[in-house]
Structure 1
Amino acid sequence: MNRGAALIVGGTGGLGSAICRCLASDWDGLAIGYRSSADKAQVVIDTLEEGAKRAIAVHCDLAEMASIQNAVAQTKARFGAIGTVIFASGVDIAQPFVSQIGESQWRQVIEVELIGFTRVVAAALPHFRAQRFGNFVSVVSVANYCFPPGDALSSVPKAGIEALGRAIAKEEGRYGIRANMVAPGIIDAGLGADFLTSLYTPDIWEAQRKRIALRHFGAGDDVAQAVAFLASQKARYITGQTLIVDGGFSL
């Protein structure tokens, strides 16, 4: 068992819920962060082993610092310590080319994802420092290593999240704090699952599948297992790194 509880920001999404299920047995408890639907968070809790005995739902709106601070405080009050904060939240976006992206779209993804992550870090760091342990794991994107046209809205803020993760690793390691990232490829879960059915034609997706070394798209659990590893004590000497989970798509 790892020390403390896990707070999963974005725990009701396709990837977030898979991460919750993967982490459930390894931590003292889970705090499942949601923005608009407590019912969805409860559904995730009901799928966990032992369910509500070791999990709570916490409101966590990335646009409001007070909401994030309250989520962190509730998690600490319920479980005593926070061992990891998982950032798995994001904006439901389309796939426009750069020439088609308006300023309001840039502002939305940067505000929710990048600025939202800075708020999560600001809220959690004081607790991690006081404990002398804790780590962040952020779900980013393989697009920053192998860019598919139309993915700028997703990849640009996540590149900032990666840079901030490395900064945390370098500056906060003296306090026993780690920060790592997981970069999924084409995953048949969450927004990725929607894209597979609504974006492009089956022929295009088949061509993409053949580009993958392992010749199949990933599942939510593939990403969740990588997140669970980096959050755990098994990765205690790993920090500032990005683990690419793409089946070899970026090779």
Structure 2
Amino acid sequence: MSDRPLAGRVALVTGGSRGLGAGISRRLAADGAAVALSYRRDREAAAEVVEEIRGRGGVAHGYCAPVDDVDAVMEMVAAVRLDIGPPDIVVSNAGIASRGLSVKDADPAEFHRLMNVHAFAPARLLQSLLPDMRRAGRSDVVLISSVATDGYPAMSAPYTMAKAALEALGHTLAREEREYGVRVNIVAPGLLDTPMGEKLVRAVRTDQTLQDLHSSYPFGRVCQPEDVANVVAFLCSPLNGYMTGQRITVDGGGHAPPLA
């Protein structure tokens, strides 16, 4: 297989400027895809990823388009088509955390906010992109979920409900779109060594940092963004010719304490 198996393809990565999204953007670009990455606020981080990709000979553009801002997303879709062409790879990675309250105490607005970002926004985005993706012959959708939907831990209902809805979208879409050559798969990481992962650890274990947990996790380390990005790249590559509607867990083979 070519060392640039995604050459000629266009990838849109939501939340692609930091953490896991930045890792996915870099990996898809390294494999030859032209990358459009969206971000909510951090223009500087997005510019850094874009310049890094371009510095390595790749094609990348950044777009300020919070996924729950319908007008901004539609403007981004139009701009991406003009700048680098219609996406035939879509990675729905943008996400937000919940506040860790019980169902009894959670603000109803938080349920709506997380459902909008994690489930409704990806559905709207894909509705706008699927006509082009069907025409491409080979297209890929990868939805980034979480191992939280395996165990449904307490104090997480807004988040796990939203991720479960995202997975339902993925499984349904896979059945609807396979006749058009669109593969739809779900990737569910465990705790990640990212700024968001660090915030989660500090919220749950105030006496520890994420770095303190490496030795207690499988293979002696917490999952890295590159571990997940490699799976995403495989799913979008010619090596994946026959997988769709699958949920792949990337957590070292099992949840480790104390955040399982």
The one-letter amino acid of 1:190's match is P
Distance change >3 Å, CA 141–CA 33, structure 1 → 2:
same
One-letter amino acid matched to 2:46: A
Consecutive unaligned residues of structure 1, counting only runs of 5 or more, are: none
CA positional deviation for 1:110: 0.8
Q: Is the 8 A contact 2:32 2:58 kept in 1?
A: no
Work out whether residues 216 and 247 of structure 1, in 8 Å CA contact, stay in contact via their aligned partners in 2: no
19-28 or 145-154: which moved more?
A: 145-154
Query: Which of 180, 197, 211 matches 1:192?
Result: 197
Per the alignment, residue 166 of structure 1 pairs with: 171
Return closer, same or farther for 1:5/1:157 CA change in 2, 3 Å cut-off.
Answer: same
| SS at structure 1 position matched to 2:184 | strand
Matched letter for residue 161 of structure 2: V
Q: How far 1:30 moved relative to its partner?
A: 0.7
2:44 is aligned with 1:46: no
Q: Secondary structure at the match of 1:155?
A: helix
Aligned-residue CA RMSD (Å): 2.5
2:233 to 225, 228, 236: 228
What is the percent sequence identity of the aligned residues?
28
Q: How does 1:100-139 map to 2 (within 5 A)?
A: 100-139=105-144
Gaps of 5+ in 2: none
Residues 180 and 240, structure 1, Cα contact 8 Å, conserved in 2: yes
Other-structure match for 1:156: 161
Residue equivalent to 1:72? 77
**Count of residues in Structure 1 that have an aligned counterpart in Structure 2:** 251
Instruction: Write out per-residue CA displacement over residues 139-198 of structure 1, whole angstroms, 9 at most, x where no aligned residue.
Output: 101011133333322221111111111111101111111111110111121311222234
Q: What is aligned with 2:10?
A: 5
TM-score, scaled to structure 2:
0.86
Measured in 2, the distance between the counterparts of 1:11 and 1:48 equals: 12
Match of 1:248 in 2: 253
**Structure 1 239/32 Cα, relative in aligned 2: closer, same or farther at 3 Å?**
same
Question: Partners of 1:42 and 1:179 in 2: how far apart?
Answer: 29
Between the aligned partners of 1:237 and 1:219, the Cα distance in structure 2 is: 27
Residue by residue, what CA displacement relative to the aligned partner does 1:97-141 show, whole Å, maximum 9, x if unpaired?
323212111011011221111111111111112223311111101
What is the deviation of 1:248?
1.9
CA separation of 1:74/1:205 partners in 2, compared to 1, >3 Å: closer, same or farther? closer
C-alpha contact (below 8 Å) 1:46/1:52 kept by paired residues: no
Residues 68, 123 of structure 1: 8 Å contact kept: no
CA distance in 1, matches of 2:56, 2:113: 34
The alpha-carbon distance between structure 1 residues 202 and 119, as it changes in their structure 2 partners (threshold 3 A), is same
Q: Work out which of the residue numbers 232, 237, 246 in structure 1 matches 2:242.
A: 237
Contact 1:25–1:49 under 8 Å retained in 2: no
Residue of structure 1 aligned with 2:60, choices 55, 59, 68: 55
Residue 71 (structure 1) shift: 1.9
Gap change, CA 1:51 and 1:152, over 3 Å in 2: farther
Alignment partner of 1:16 out of 10, 13, 21: 21
Question: What secondary structure is seen at the aligned counterpart in 2 of 1:233?
Answer: coil
Q: SS of the counterpart of 1:72?
A: helix
